[in-house]
Amino acid sequence: MTNDKNDYLLGVSETELERLRFQHNVWKNVTDDFFTRLNVGNGWKCLDVGAGPGFVAMDLRERVGENGEVTVLEPSKYYLDWFRNDSAKRGWANIKFIEGTAEVALLPSEYFDFIFVRWVIGFVPDAEKFLLNILRSLKPGGIIALQDYQYEGLSLSPNSGAFQHAANAVRGYWRAGGGDPYVASRIPIIFRQQEIKLIEYKPNCLAGGPKSTVMEWAHKFFSTHFQAMVDIGVITQTEGDAMLADWLAHRENPDTMFFSPLVVDIAGVKPE
Q: Which residues make up the interface to ligand SAM (CB under 6 A)? A: 6, 8, 10, 20, 24, 49-52, 55-56, 74-76, 79, 101-103, 118-120, 123-124
> Least CB distance from residue 182 to ligand SAM, whole Å?
17
Q: Smaller CB distance to ligand SAM: residue 17 or 245?
A: 17
Q: Smaller CB distance to ligand SAM: residue 51 or 190?
A: 51
Q: Smaller CB distance to ligand SAM: residue 132 or 242?
A: 132
Rounded to whole angstroms, how far apart are CA atoms 31 and 62?
14
Q: State whether the Cα torsion 51-205-182-246 is positive or negative.
A: negative
> Least CB distance from residue 15 to ligand SAM, whole Å?
13
The helix/strand/coil state of 42 is coil
Do residues 138 and 237 lie in contact, with contact meaning Cβ atoms separated by under 8 Å?
A: no
> Least CB distance from residue 158 to ligand SAM, whole Å?
30
> Least CB distance from residue 31 to ligand SAM, whole Å?
8
> Least CB distance from residue 262 to ligand SAM, whole Å?
16
Q: Smaller CB distance to ligand SAM: residue 76 or 256?
A: 76
The helix/strand/coil state of 256 is coil
Query: Kindly report the CA angle at 21 between 67 and 101, in degrees rounded to 5?
Result: 70
Q: Smaller CB distance to ligand SAM: residue 2 or 164?
A: 2
Q: State whether the Cα torsion 24-25-31-32 is positive or negative.
A: positive
Contacts 24+ apart (CB under 8 A), 24-27: 24/55, 24/56, 25/213, 26/206, 26/213, 26/214, 26/216, 26/217, 27/147, 27/206, 27/217, 27/263
